[in-house]
Chains A and B, each alone.
Chain A
Amino acid sequence: MKLESVCGYVLALIAAPILLGVINRVKAFFAGRRGPPVLQAYHDLFKLLRKSAVYSGATGYVFKAGPLVGLAAVMLALTFMPFGGIGSIFSFNGDFLLVAYLLGVMRFGTVLAALDTGSSFEGMGASREVQFAALAEPALLLGMAVIIRMTGQLALADGLQSFSFGLTAASSPIIILLLMAWFIVFLVENARIPFDDPNTHLELTMIHEVMALDHGGPDLAFILYGAALKMWLIGALLVNLLIPAHTGNPLLDLGMFGAGMLLLAAAVGIIESTKARLRLLRAPQLLIAACAFSILALVLVLR
């Protein structure tokens, strides 16, 4: 465990909500508005933390435990994720499986909390969430198999850090396929367009927002914060692949990584502004395409 890794982790915990602000600013720019401040998400979180809550009579402890389980799982998962040149806090062989399954824990908690309300809307969101997740999981893990095969490293931090500009350039087709596959996973896991529209409320097409419909006060704050951390977590995967620069200077590495995250957020904002949401029946096809990209990358790496 290195000091700079802990700094990277703390940075993630602090900076994650900025991503939402950046996305919203980019979307506002495309819509010709000024948009909310970049730090709006923090205001929202603090406001929610200070509020009391209203609970449905149908719910029990599962509903209250859902946000806690989700936040705890993603906070633990972040400790295994390297941030650019500085490594992760913990690392062991096969740790990315733990990360993937911790995201599963988070999902399980959210889905059960949604079903606990007995609302048909939330049931619908939960149903869609588990369907998409079942398809996203193979794409994510098969992509990991590519990294392992390329680098010969079984641990997430070791694998991602053995990339250099030279290796990335030499195997750019594989990296591009992998980035495409994981970008789709990133969009679906974080409930972004084209899978889900975070701005719609009370429409039949939404997934993540509808599951949090009955939560309020600190519970909702935990959910929103957990979602931001999850975005940082999966985004870090992409940024680690995209910027394989390790200067050895922790400050510089962390700076480059942070810039990469902001760029990623901007890219999400651009996609959200220029693309429409996919018909729900088409969404599984895009996810299967992600699996296909992962498998294709595997084929290329085996060649």
Chain B
Amino acid sequence: MNAFLAYLLLMITGGIISAFTGRRRKLSAFSGAAGLILGSLGALTVAIRPLINGRALALRPAWPLPLGSFAVEIDSLSGFFLCVIFSMTILCALYGWGYNAATGKNPGDRSAWLWLSLLAAGMALVVVARNAVLFLLAWELMSLSSFFLVAFENGREKVRRAAWTYLVATHLGTAFLLAMFVLMGAAAGSFDFAAFAAIQGKNAAFLNLLFILALIGFGTKAGFYPLHVWLPEAHPAAPSHVSALMSGVMIKTGIYAMIRFVAISGPPPAWWGWLLVLTGAVSGILGVVFALAQHDLKRLLAYHSVENIGIIALGFGLGLIGWSCGSRFIMLAGFAGSLLHVANHAIFKGLLFLSAGSVLHAVNCRNMEKMGGLLKVMPVTGAAFLAGSAAISGLPPLNGFVSEFLIYTAALLCVLHNQTGVLIPGIAVIGSLALIGGLAAACFAKACGVVFLGEPRSPEMQNAHECGLAMRLPMLILSAACLVMALAAPFLVPALCAATGNIAGIPVNPNGGAALMLKTVTFWISAASLLLIFLLLLLAILRICLFRGRSTAKTGTWDCGFAQPSPRMQYTASSFAQPITNMFRRALDIKTSGILPEEFFPGNASFSAHADDTAHRYLFAPVFRAVDRALACLRWIQEGRVQIYVLYINVILLILLLFAL
């Protein structure tokens, strides 16, 4: 455990050196990246141990924090999340190193590596903290360092606004967490997580209140609908390797904390599971529908994080339902599926953000409608994006399917259960997962097709270039990981089940009962994945044999007799998604504008559509306006005269003096 903390310090030291050598960009980037990579590699070797042998590592030095203690522990659940955090950190640091070398100067450059190392260390601390005060400190460290990373290109007005939105949202969330921890601390008499177990016997209303506070507080970080509004703003604003880390990993700390919360609060009532299933279904469906309506590649990916967090919540909710009804099969399948999806989403979302970053860097434009045909000029990035797209759409033989399959399994077991309270959420999960799966495939067919396939829509696209090796390598590793995770799933399931048993405080035999069943089905899926690849190779060989000795000709795309086709006539992202977004127009609030062609010889015509976020528009904007109006009546305090402020200080000092007497 001491070694673990030392590795975290190594990371931060690298960041500090990088900040002080900020003027010499090469040295600065090297020390920042090297610190992150070495520190993460070292910490990874420590964190993986509890996952393998099941023995938790703990440390509780005599180092008092105000109101708390520096209690840290790595159990199998923390170990699982740490593995995700550090593996992604290594790859993102490597990518960032290449990115830094490839881009011009930015106002945020000098301290970026410091913030990145603090973000990584903060996430790790959140996961290992076993004291509420330490937890909140780590939580703030994580949130604030990522705020500075979002504000990286703070020369742009849009970026400043995104960073501001993120800051407000994350602190709103923290406010709920503060209330929750204060209540828990008051009930337990201490802020140590170990002492929190005392709340298990408290009355149901109190626990329910805590759950709601936790759901809002952690849900804001995780990005549940409608608390997700910061997500599509902040992720596109940050540099791509930071987006990958924030979207792939940081939002999962919200999920981790939710799991830790239910582990503390004991067997849950069934409605907690119902609420999470509902939240998951709404986040999942609306997340992907919003994503379909986007033109900005990174914004589209950000909305897909809302969708995938929804899928994770579906599994988690089913796990809770299984726990509350005493069905260990449902519980294990739900929890294991949601945990596996945490890891899988980190992999494919990281991959997609990194390849999107490579595209943005090459063509210097974020609007998908202007791209096209990039696969030819950027073969590695394109292939990586294709692999990530298939994985995130949950298609075999890649990893997204395995975790969705486990969640489906939990739902099917619910369908077989004889209580209506268990059955209905199961059916809801099947229906919504099926819909989400179909829509996600549609959305990624759109993203891949419009950006990478077809013909380039503008001359700039032909001049695009592939990125450097330091940026390509992480993408290749992640693409391979998408396949490897799917094939290795049967071997991961026992560890996942052990981590799950940890949540519920139930010892799980990794080689029997529910764990064995999950292992068997994942084994079948892996076998089927291999078979699919084998069949594909066989057919490819057949195709080569068929074409041997035959000449193939090249010509233009068949244009149905039209005389002058141009690349701008290709189906665009908006037109591809229009039938679906039209089905969901009530939720999307699409605004269209433009000049429609009229008469026989139409002049200039234009059309533009923009989808607003309904949660932003109808929930947050009115709330903030109301707060603004309410606080306006206090504006007289802000006078602008120094004398008045000195007076304020004196009055406060006087009051404090009187109070002390």
Q: Do A and B come from one complex?
A: yes
Distance of A283 from chain B, by nearest CB (Å) = 10
Q: Which of A110-134 contact B (CB under 8 A)?
A: 111-112, 115-124, 126-128, 130-131, 133-134
Which of chain B's residues have a CB closer than 8 A to the CB of A75?
A: 535
Q: Answer whether residue B616 sits at the interface, using C-beta atoms and an 8 A cutoff.
A: no
Are A123 and B575 closer than 8 Å at their CB atoms? yes
Residue of A nearest to B561 (CB): A202
Distance of B564 from chain A, by nearest CB (Å) = 13
Q: Answer whether residue A253 sits at the interface, using C-beta atoms and an 8 A cutoff.
A: no
Are B442 and A134 closer than 8 Å at their CB atoms? yes
Distance of A254 from chain B, by nearest CB (Å) = 24
Which of chain A's residues have a CB closer than 8 A to the CB of B423?
A: 302
Are A127 and B415 closer than 8 Å at their CB atoms? no
User: Interface residues of A toward B: which range?
Assistant: 35 or more
Q: A53-B552, A108-B395, A115-B454 are in contact. Are A127 and B430 (CB under 8 A)?
A: no
Q: Answer whether residue A214 sits at the interface, using C-beta atoms and an 8 A cutoff.
A: yes
Are A119 and B559 closer than 8 Å at their CB atoms? yes
What sequence of 0s and 1s flags, for each residue 127-164 of chain A, a beta carbon within 8 Å of any chain B beta carbon?
Answer: 11011011111101110010011001010000000000
Are A108 and B390 closer than 8 Å at their CB atoms? yes
Q: Which of B415-456 contact A (CB under 8 A)?
A: 415-416, 420, 423, 426-427, 430-431, 433-435, 437-439, 441-442, 445-446, 448-450, 453-455
Which of chain A's residues have a CB closer than 8 A to the CB of B577?
A: 127
Are B550 and A104 closer than 8 Å at their CB atoms? no
Interface size of B in residues (CB-CB distance below 8 Å):
77
Distance of B512 from chain A, by nearest CB (Å) = 16
Interface of chain A, main secondary structure: helix
Please measure, in the bound complex, the distance between the C-alpha atom of A111 and the C-alpha atom of B412, giving whole angstroms.
30
Q: Answer whether residue B623 sits at the interface, using C-beta atoms and an 8 A cutoff.
A: no
Which of chain B's residues have a CB closer than 8 A to the CB of A108?
A: 390, 393, 395, 441, 445
Distance of B315 from chain A, by nearest CB (Å) = 14
Distance of B173 from chain A, by nearest CB (Å) = 32
Residue of B nearest to A291 (CB): B431
Q: A101-B401, A107-B441 are in contact. Are A76 and B390 (CB under 8 A)?
A: no
Distance of B537 from chain A, by nearest CB (Å) = 9
Which of chain A's residues have a CB closer than 8 A to the CB of B532?
A: 72-73, 76, 102, 105
Residue of B nearest to A91 (CB): B524
Are B416 and A130 closer than 8 Å at their CB atoms? no
Q: Which of B14-22, B460-468, B540-548 contacts A (4 or more CB under 8 A)?
A: B540-548
Residue of A nearest to B448 (CB): A112
Q: Which of A54-62, A169-177, A242-250, A260-268 contacts B (4 or more CB under 8 A)?
A: A54-62
Which of chain B's residues have a CB closer than 8 A to the CB of A137?
A: 434-435, 437-438
Q: Answer whether residue A28 sits at the interface, using C-beta atoms and an 8 A cutoff.
A: no
Q: Which of B233-241, B249-257, B270-278, B371-379 contacts A (4 or more CB under 8 A)?
A: B371-379
Interface of chain B, main secondary structure: helix
Q: Answer whether residue B661 sits at the interface, using C-beta atoms and an 8 A cutoff.
A: no
Q: Which of A37-45, A92-100, A233-241 contacts B (4 or more CB under 8 A)?
A: A92-100
Which of chain B's residues have a CB closer than 8 A to the CB of A135?
A: 435, 438
What sequence of 0s and 1s flags, for each residue 54-84 of chain A, a beta carbon within 8 Å of any chain B beta carbon?
Answer: 1111111010100011011101100100000
Please measure, in the bound complex, the distance between the C-alpha atom of A206 and the C-alpha atom of B438, giving whole angstroms.
20
20 extra interchain contacts, Cβ-Cβ under 8 A, other than A52-B553, A73-B532, A90-B524?
Answer: A55-B553, A56-B555, A58-B455, A68-B539, A76-B531, A93-B517, A94-B412, A100-B434, A101-B437, A104-B438, A112-B445, A116-B449, A117-B557, A123-B571, A126-B576, A134-B439, A137-B438, A138-B434, A218-B546, A222-B543
Chain A interface (Cβ within 8 Å of chain B)? Answer: 49, 52-60, 62, 64, 68-69, 71-73, 75-76, 79, 90, 92-95, 97-98, 100-102, 104-105, 107-108, 111-112, 115-124, 126-128, 130-131, 133-138, 140-142, 145, 148-149, 152, 154, 202, 213-214, 218-219, 222, 284, 291, 295, 298, 302
Chain B interface (Cβ within 8 Å of chain A)? Answer: 372-373, 375-376, 386, 390, 393-396, 401, 405, 408-409, 412, 415-416, 420, 423, 426-427, 430-431, 433-435, 437-439, 441-442, 445-446, 448-450, 453-455, 517, 520-521, 524-525, 528, 531-532, 535-536, 538-540, 543, 546-547, 550-560, 567, 569-571, 575-580, 583
